[in-house]
C-alpha cells in the first residue's frame, strides 16, 4: 500500500509537504503541488479516508440522486462514478428522486441526515427550480447530469439532445418515410423538450406536416412505448417510422409491432435513443443514438471530487459527444 512517505521519497520532499499538497493546503508552490499529485496518481495512492475525515470534519460521502435507479439507463453512469470513487476514496450513497426533488424530502434527508460532502443529480425535471438555490446557499457542491443550466456556479454534464433527436429523425426521413411518429418522454423534462424540438426541426426541413408526424407521450419505460405504439398502429394509418425518446420505450414499441404481425423495418422502422446494452440484441438490432453514459458518470465524479479538494472551481458546463448507431431496425 502506497503511503505519503513513499510519495515524499519519490518527489524528494518532506512528507508534510506531500500532505499539504494532497489536501490543498497553503505553503506549497503550484508546480510542486502538481508534481506531487501526478506522482500520487502514478503510484496509485489511496488516501486514508478515515484519518482525513477526522482532520477535515467531512463525511467522505457523495450523494447520488436518480429518478429510478432500477432503470437500465443508469447502469453505465453508476459504473463510471464507482470507478472514480474507488480511486479517490469517496463513498457513494444512492437514492431515488422519483423524478421530483422538490415533492419529496429525499434531498434534504441526504444533506441533513447523511451529511454528504457533495451531490450528483441525474435528471431534467424542469419543475424542480428551487433545489439548486438551496444547495448553493448551503454551499454544497453538486454536479447535474442531463441538465444544461447557464447560471453561474452550476456544474452541468449533458449532450446536445436537439441535435441527437434531429439526426435520429433525419435518418428515418432519408430512408424515404413520409409519415413518422415520435414517442416522447415526460413533457416536464428538459431532455424531452429538446428531443421533441430536434424531431420537429427535421420534420420541418423535409416539408412534412405535424398532422403526418404526431408526438405521443410516455415516461421513458418500455410499457409506455408498447402502449403508445399500439395507439400509433390504430390511429395513424400509413405511419412507417417511429422515433422513440429512449431505448426502453423502443423495446415496448418493437413488441407491439411484432404482436401486430408486422415486420421491422419493412413495415415500420424504429429508432431509439441511449444505446442500452440490450439494444444490439433486440429483434432486429436497434438503430439508436449512443449516449456516453459511462463518461457522464466518470466526469461527474471527477469534477465533483476536484471541487471538493479545492482543485477546481464551480461553473463547469461540459457537453459530451454522441453517435448515431445504425443497425437493422431502420
Whether residue 179 is found in the same domain as residue 213: yes
pLDDT the model gives residue 49: 53
User: How far is 262 from 266, CA to CA, in rounded Å?
Assistant: 8
- Could you list the residue range(s) of the whole structural domain that residue 36 is in? 4-45
Whether residue 190 is found in the same domain as residue 123: no
CATH number at residue 38: 1.10.260.40
pLDDT higher than 50, residue 54: no
**39 to each of 24, 35, 86, 311, how far by Cα in Å?**
15, 6, 18, 16
User: How far is 159 from 284, CA to CA, in rounded Å?
Assistant: 27
**Helix, strand or coil, per DSSP, at residue 119:** strand
User: How far is 38 from 200, CA to CA, in rounded Å?
Assistant: 48
pLDDT the model gives residue 96: 84
CATH number at residue 173: 3.40.50.2300
Question: Which triple of cell numbers denotes residue 55?
Answer: 482532520
Instruction: Check: pTM over 0.75? Answer yes or no.
Output: yes
pLDDT the model gives residue 46: 64
The model's confidence at residue 48, banded by pLDDT at 50, 70 and 90, is low
The DSSP symbol for 284 reads S
Nearest to 252 by CA among 277, 274, 282: 282
User: How far is 238 from 236, CA to CA, in rounded Å?
Assistant: 6
pLDDT the model gives residue 252: 98
- The verdict on residue 324 lying in a domain is no
The pLDDT tens digits of the residues spanning 209-253 come to 888 899 999 999 999 999 999 999 999 989 999 999 999 999 999
Whether residue 181 is found in the same domain as residue 241: yes
Nearest to 279 by CA among 70, 25, 72: 72
Average pLDDT over every residue of 8-34: 85
Whether residue 95 is found in the same domain as residue 143: yes
In sequence order, what are the beta bridge partners of 229?
Answer: none
Domain count, the chain: 3
Amino acid at each position: 500500500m502506497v503511503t505519503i512517505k513513499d510519495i515524499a521519497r519519490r518527489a524528494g520532499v518532506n512528507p508534510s509537504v506531500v500532505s499539504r499538497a494532497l489536501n490543498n493546503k497553503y505553503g506549497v508552490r503550484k508546480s510542486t503541488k502538481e508534481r506531487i499529485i501526478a506522482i500520487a496518481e502514478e503510484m496509485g495512492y489511496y488516501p486514508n479516508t478515515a484519518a482525513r475525515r477526522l482532520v477535515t470534519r467531512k463525511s467522505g460521502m457523495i450523494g447520488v440522486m436518480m429518478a429510478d435507479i432500477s432503470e437500465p439507463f443508469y447502469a453505465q453512469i453508476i459504473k463510471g462514478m464507482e470507478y472514480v470513487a474507488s480511486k479517490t476514496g469517496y463513498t457513494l450513497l444512492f437514492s431515488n428522486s422519483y423524478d421530483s426533488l422538490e415533492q419529496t424530502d429525499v434531498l434534504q434527508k441526504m444533506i441533513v441526515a447523511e451529511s454528504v460532502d457533495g451531490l450528483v443529480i441525474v435528471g431534467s425535471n424542469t419543475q424542480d427550480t428551487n433545489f439548486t438555490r438551496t444547495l448553493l446557499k448551503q454551499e454544497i457542491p453538486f454536479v447535474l447530469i442531463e441538465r444544461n443550466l447557464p447560471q453561474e456556479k452550476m456544474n452541468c454534464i449533458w449532450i446536445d439532445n436537439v441535435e441527437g433527436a434531429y439526426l435520429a429523425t433525419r435518418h428515418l426521413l432519408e430512408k424515404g418515410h413520409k409519415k413518422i411518429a415520435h414517442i416522447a418522454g415526460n413533457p416536464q423534462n428538459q431532455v424531452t423538450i429538446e428531443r421533441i424540438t430536434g424531431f420537429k426541426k427535421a420534420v420541418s426541413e423535409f416539408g412534412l406536416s405535424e398532422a403526418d408526424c404526431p408526438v405521443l407521450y410516455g415516461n421513458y419505460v418500455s410499457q409506455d412505448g408498447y402502449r403508445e405504439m399500439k395507439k400509433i398502429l390504430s390511429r395513424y394509418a400509413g405511419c412507417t417510422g417511429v422515433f422513440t425518446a429512449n431505448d426502453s420505450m423502443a423495446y415496448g414499441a418493437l413488441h407491439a409491432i411484432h404482436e401486430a404481425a408486422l415486420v421491422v423495418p419493412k413495415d415500420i422502422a424504429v429508432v431509439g435513443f441511449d444505446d442500452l446494452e440490450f439494444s444490439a440484441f433486440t429483434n432486429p438490432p436497434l438503430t439508436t443514438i449512443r449516449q456516453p453514459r459511462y463518461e457522464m458518470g466518470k466526469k461527474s465524479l471527477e469534477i465533483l471530487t476536484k471541487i471538493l479538494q479545492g482543485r477546481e472551481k464551480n461553473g463547469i458546463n461540459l457537453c459530451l459527444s454522441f453517435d448515431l448507431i445504425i443497425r437493422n431496425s431502420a
